[in-house]
Amino acid sequence: MTEEFEPKIIAFLCKWCSSAGSDLAGVSRMEYPPNVVPIQVMCSGSISPLYIFSAFNRGADGVLVSGCHPGDCHYIKGNLYARRRLALVKKLLEHLGLEPQRFRMSWVSAAEGQKYTQVIKDLVRDLKPLGPQTKLRRNV
């Protein structure tokens, strides 16, 4: 029996909602799988498609971008730009044949520690059966 595949996931969390929501999950001592390395950014609107491509290129098995719910953005509307930009990224990656589960976006508010926990659990659960992401991964 080989060891179960543990996906490597990068999560871009906006500082004001999702990172705070993730903090709340911690404060509430919720538990979720340790596969995700969080990177805190100021706003989901600051996530360039390049970061997502790059994460996959450098071996991420999954990428999560999480921001404030529409209307709650600390910067008013950054998440709405993100929503449009990342919808395109998702469609593009899927057109290429990347499994749709590998790139995910979520809205997690500062109060949603439980939701953050669930998002991570779902993501890890969805990625495990897919195995390592080799399509976009660099192999020099």
Partner 1 sequence: MVKLEDLKEEARRLLKEGKVKYIIAYERNPLDGRAVPAFLRKPEDADRIAWDPTCVHNLVRFLVDEKRRKAKEKNPDTRPVGVVVKGCDSRALVILLQEKFIERKDVHILGLSCEKTGVADERKLAKRLKGKKAVRVEFGPEDNFTVTTQDGAVTVPAAEVLAGRCLECIANFPVVSDLLLGEKTKRTVANAFASVEPLESLPPEEKWKFWQEQFRKCIRCYACRSVCPMCYCDECVADTINFAVTADTPAEEKAQKIKWVEKSPLDSENIFYHLVRAIHLAGRCIDCGECERACPVNIPLRQLNKKMEKEAKVLFGYEVGFDPDKPALISCFRDEDPQDFIR
Partner 2 sequence: MKKTGVFICHCGINIAGTVDVKKVARELSQQPGVALAEDYVYMCSDPGQNLIAQAIKDKGLDSVVVACCSPTLHETTFRNASQRAGLNAFRCEIANIREQCSWVHKDMSKATPKAAQIIKSTVKRVQKNEELEPISVPVTRRAMVIGGGIAGIQASLDLANSGYEVILVEKSPSLGGHMIQLSETFPTLDCSQCILTPKMVEASKHPKIKLMTYSEVQDVTGYVGNFKVKILKKPTYVDPAKCNLCDECSKVCPIVVPNEFDLGLTGRRAIYLPFPQAIPASYCLDDKNCPSLFPVACGKCYHVCKPKAINYDLKPEIIEEEVGAIIVATGYDLYDKEKMAEYGLGRYPDVLDGLQFERMCSASGPTQGKILRPSDQQEPQEVVFIQCSGSRDPELHCAYCSKICCMYTAKQAMLYKHHVHDGQAYIFYIDIRSGGKNYEEFVQRAVEEDGVLYLRGKVSKVFQEGDKLKVWGADTLSGKKIEIDADMVVLAMAMRPAQGAQELAKKLKLALDKDGFLAEAHPKLRPVESVTAGMFLAGAAQAPKDIPEAVAQASGAACKAITILSQDRLYHSPTVAKAVKNLCTGCGMCVAVCPYDAIALKDGKVEVNEVLCEGCGTCQATCLRAAIQVKNLTQHQLHEMILASLGG
Question: Please, what is the minimum distance in Å from the beta carbon of residue 67 to partner 1?
Answer: 9
Sort residue 29 into left (φ over 0), alpha (ψ -120 to 50) or beta. left
What single-letter DSSP state applies at residue 61? Answer: S
Of partner 1, partner 2, none, which one sits near residue 41, judging by CB under 5 to 8 A according to partner kind? partner 2
Note whether 69 binds partner 2 by CB under 8 A: no
Of partner 1, partner 2, none, which one sits near residue 106, judging by CB under 5 to 8 A according to partner kind? partner 1
What residue has token string 């990177």?
39
Question: Please, what is the minimum distance in Å from the beta carbon of residue 121 to partner 1?
Answer: 12
Residue at 75: amino acid letter: Y
Helix (H) or strand (E) holding 103: strand 103-107
77: its two tokens: 């509307």
Among 9-17, 24-32, 35-43, 93-101, the segment contacting partner 1 (CB under 8 A): 93-101
Out of 3, 55, 130, 139, point to the residue binding partner 2 (CB under 8 A).
55
Note whether 5 binds partner 2 by CB under 8 A: no
What single-letter DSSP state applies at residue 102? Answer: G
